[in-house]
Amino acid sequence: MKPRALLYARVSTADKGQDWHAQIEELERVADQRGWEVVGHYHDTTSGAKASRPGLDAAIARCRRGGVNIFAAVSTDRFARSVLNLLRLVGELEALGVKIAATREGALDTTTPQGRAFLVVRGAFAELERSLRAEGIREGLAIRRARGVKLGRPRGLDYSRLEDAKIHRMSGATWQTIADLYGGTPGAWSRALSRAA
């Protein structure tokens, strides 16, 4: 009988070229290669630091209902926001008989001491990286404020460029590329073109 796998993907934002679909497609290829039967897909578009993630909550609830052997994500930082959170998830899933596969981090078997040790070390480095990044951002903002730089996103769009932006988007340009060309933010152009459609 094939192992039954649940696939989970997360991106931080939808308007900077990130796409959870690519993660799911990658996980489906791995599932096919390893002979897993995919029993569900779940995803979130939110920061990994947020405690409440509807897709992850639904995925864990699905594991609790049974019939799942593997919880798969491309990496542990897609579903765990801290070392303690990672250990709690591993413990809960292990108690349910569900292994964690972080496919870009090698074949992980969380029922072995080596697999658990790797996850803890990986989680510790991911948490350190997030902390250092946040600290660097705070320091950079403080320096810019001290220099009198006005902070915040530009809000206004040049609506006379709407047709140009639409043509660029239809030819495959990302929202970020459109914002770089015409000013404003990727999200603002996405909303403006959706309303104009």
Residues designated as active site: 12
CB neighbours of 68 closer than 8 A, spacing ≥ 6? 4, 5, 6, 39, 40, 62, 96, 98
- Using CA atoms, how far residue 183 sits from 14, 19, 158, 192, in Å, is 18, 22, 8, 13
Find tokens 């998830």 and name the residue.
Answer: 89
The pairing of strands 99-102 and 37-45 is: unpaired
Q: Let me know: does 15 contact 190? Beta carbons within 8 Å.
A: yes
Residue at 30: amino acid letter: V
Helices (H), 38-185: 54-65, 83-95, 113-146, 162-170, 175-182
Quick one: CA dihedral 12, 13, 16, 17, positive or negative? positive
- Cα-flanking dihedrals φ and ψ of residue 16, to 5°? -125, 35
CA gap 159, 161 in Å, rounded: 5
